[in-house]
Amino acid sequence: MARDPDRIIPLRHYGRWLSGGLVVILVALVVKAFAQGQIDWPVVRSFFTAPALVKGLGHTLLITFLSMALGLVLGLLFAVMRLSKNPVTRSVATAYVWLFRGTPVYLQLLIWFNLALIFPNVSLGFFHARMVDVMTPFLAALLGLGVNEGSYMTEIVRGGILSVEQGQLDAASSLGMSRLLAMRRVVIPQAMRVIVPSFGNEFIGMLKTSAMASAIAYTEMLNQAQIIYFINDKIMELLLVAAGWYLIVVTLFSGVQYYIERQFARGQSHELPPSLLERLWSNLFAGHRAAAAEERR
Amino acid sequence: MSAPGRPMVVVQNVHKAFGRNEVLKGIDLEVAPGEVMCILGPSGSGKSTFLRCINHLERTDRGRIYVDGELNGCRERNGRLYELPDRDLCRARTKIGIVFQHFNLFPHLTVLENLIEGPVRVKGEPRDLAVARGHRLLAQVGLGERAAAYPRQLSGGQQQRVAIARALAMEPKLMLFDEPTSALDPELVGDVLAVMRDLARSGMTMMVVTHEIGFARGVAHSVVFIDGGVVVERGAPEEVLDHPRHERTRAFLSKVLS
C-alpha cells in the first residue's frame, strides 16, 4: 500500500504501556501472595453459599433496600419542606437534617435499639406493648439507617430541585398547577436526573453501612460471618467471602443504576446513550457489520 | 375591535417593588375583549414584571388588577384588599395563558404531553378529549407532525409555537406574551409571529411585550409605552409609533427603528 502523505499518525503513548505493564505485575504479585498465604481457599469456596451466610446476605439486602426506601421518602418530603415558603415547615426540615446528619449513624443505631431505657412502654391509644418487644434489632436498624439516610437524601433531593430552572415552576404555575402538583409532575422528574447518580452512591454506601447494624445484633452478612469465625476460627476466609458478596452486589447494582439513569435522561439529549447490551453488541459485531456494508457496496 | 360590555383587563394603580427597588410605580390601563395590545419599553422599564403581575406570577404590592371582571390575586372586603391563598390563585391562572421568552416547555415530556398536562392534571379533563385538542392545536401552529418529539429535538421557533399551543390548551380568555421572539434566531421569528397573528384574528385578547415594531404596527389595536414603571403613552399604533407625543417614546423608537 502506498504511503498517504496526508495521513496523521496518532501519538504513541509509550508511558501507558509501561505503567500498564507495571500494574499487571503488581496485581500478579498480590494474587500470588494471597494464593500462597495461609488462606484455606476450599473453606472460602464452601462458605460462599453457606445457608447462614446467604441468609445474612438476604438480611443485608433487605435492610439496605428498606432503609433506602425510607430514606428516599423522607428525603423527598423534607427537601420539599426545606424549600417551602412556610417558615415553620422550613425550620422543621432544617432541624431534622441538623440532628440526624450531625451525629454518627452508629450512635443513632444504639439510641434506637436502647430506646426502652427512656420509654419502657409504647402506647398508641389502640396499641400497648413493651418497647423491648417492639424495638427488635430489625426495626432499630431500619429506623437508625433509614432516618439517618433521609437527612442525607434531603440535601441530595434539594440539590436536584435547585438544579431545575425557575422557568419550569413559572410555566407549571401559569397552567394553574399548585406548588405540590408542580413539584410532583414537573420539577421532581427533572431533578431525578441529578438525584439518581448520588442516590446510587448512597445505595452502595448503605449496603456497606448496614454492616454497622451487627452492633445491635441484627443478623446481616458481616454479623453472620463473625458468628461463624468465632466458632471455626477461619477469620480471613469468612471476611473474604463477605467481601466477595459485597462486590458482586455492588457490580450488579451499578448495571441497574445505568438503566435508571437512562430512563430519567428522556428528552434531555437528541439521542439516548446506548444500553450496556447495545454497546456490547455493537463492539462485538462492529467489524462484522462494517465488512458486510462494504460487501453490499 | 372594542366589543360591548366590560373590559377584559382593568389595571388600577399597580405598584410593585423588589426590596427597595420600585419597578412599577402606579400602572393604569384597560384592555377590551378581543383587543391586541403591544407593550413597548426599554429593558428594565418593568414591562415584563407588569405582565407577570397580571397572572400573579409576581405578587403586587398595591393596586387592583381585574381579569374578566374578577379581582386578581386578592379579595376586597370592607374597602381593604386581602391576599388570596394559593388555591384561588391557581384557579384564576387557568383563565390566563402566558408565553415566556425562553419557552419553558417541560423537557421530560413529549410535545403532546406538554399540551395535555394542564387540562388533564389541573382541570381534570378526560385524557382523550385533551389529546384530541392537543393534536388540533399542534396542527393550528403548524406542528401536527411533531406530537411525539421531545422539546429539545425542536428548533427555538418550533418550541415557542408549542409553548403557545400549550397555553391555548387551557382555553384561556387572555393570552400574555413576554418577549416571545427575543430568544429566537432571526429567521425563526416570522413563524412565531404568524401564529400570533392568526390568534389575534381569531379574536383572542392578547397583551404582548415585544420589540417587534412591525408586529405592533400590523397586528396590534393599541400600543402602550412603559418607562420607569409608569405608562408614558398609550394609543393606536400609528399614533404612538409614528407620532409619539412624549420625548421618551421618541427617543426609544429612534433607537429601536434605527
Q: Look up the CATH number of domain A57-265.
A: 1.10.3720.10
Question: For A121-133, how does the pLDDT look when each residue is reduced to its tens digit (9 = 90+)?
Answer: 888 888 888 888 8
Predicted pLDDT of residue B143 = 95
Q: Which of B94, B115, B105, B104 shows the shortest CA–CA distance to B171? A: B94
Among chain A residues, the shortest Cα distance to B118 is held by: A175
Q: Is the confidence at residue B32, as pLDDT, over 90?
A: yes
Give the dihedral of Cα atoms B125, B128, B130, B132; nearest 10 deg.
-150
End-to-end CA distance of chain B: 31
Question: For A173-228, how does the pLDDT look when each residue is reduced to its tens digit (9 = 90+)?
Answer: 999 999 999 999 999 999 998 998 899 999 999 999 999 999 898 999 999 999 99
Nearest-angstrom CA–CA distance, B140 and B137:
5
Residue B33, by phi and psi: left (phi above 0), alpha (psi -120 to 50) or beta?
Answer: beta
Q: Is the confidence at residue A55, as pLDDT, over 90?
A: yes
Residue owning grid cell 507495571 = A22
Q: CA of A266, closest CA in chain B: separation in Å? A: 6
This prediction has a pTM of 0.81
Q: CA of B194, closest CA in chain A: separation in Å? A: 23
Question: For A100-148, how does the pLDDT look when each residue is reduced to its tens digit (9 = 90+)?
Answer: 999 999 999 999 999 989 888 888 888 888 888 888 999 999 999 999 9
On whether the CB atoms of residues A218 and A59 are closer than 8 A, the answer is yes
Q: Which of A175, A248, A220, A202 shows the shortest CA–CA distance to B97? A: A175
Interchain pair A174, B107: CB under 8 A: no
Provide the 3-class DSSP secondary structure of residue A280. helix
H-helix or E-strand containing B12? strand B9-18
Q: Where are the domains of chain A?
A: 57-265
ipTM of the complex as predicted:
0.91
Predicted pLDDT of residue A162 = 95
Among chain A residues, the shortest Cα distance to B169 is held by: A175
Interchain pair A171, B123: CB under 8 A: no
Taking CB atoms and an 8 Å cutoff, what residues of chain B touch A167?
Answer: 100, 102, 104
Predicted pLDDT of residue A19 = 95
User: Using 50, 70 and 90 to split pLDDT, how confident is the model at B134?
Assistant: very high
Mean pLDDT of the residues in chain B: 92
Taking CB atoms and an 8 Å cutoff, what residues of chain A touch B134?
Answer: none
Q: Is the confidence at residue A265, as pLDDT, over 60?
A: yes
Q: Which of B134, B178, B147 shows the shortest CA–CA distance to B39? A: B178
Taking CB atoms and an 8 Å cutoff, what residues of chain B touch A186?
Answer: 106, 117
Q: A interface toward B at CB cutoff 8 Å?
A: 167-168, 170-179, 181, 185-186, 189-190, 264, 266-270
Interchain pair B86, A178: CB under 8 A: yes
Taking CB atoms and an 8 Å cutoff, what residues of chain A touch B84?
Answer: none
Q: What is the mean pLDDT of residues B191-196?
A: 95
The C-alpha angle with vertex B62 and arms to B56 and B65, in degrees rounded to 5, equals: 50
Predicted pLDDT of residue A285 = 61
Interchain pair B106, A168: CB under 8 A: yes
Among chain B residues, the shortest Cα distance to A264 is held by: B108
Among chain A residues, the shortest Cα distance to B98 is held by: A174
Q: Which of A226, A231, A253 shows the shortest CA–CA distance to A241? A: A226
Provide the 3-class DSSP secondary structure of residue B216. helix
Among chain B residues, the shortest Cα distance to A263 is held by: B108
Nearest-angstrom CA–CA distance, B240 and B232:
10
Residue owning grid cell 509501561 = A18
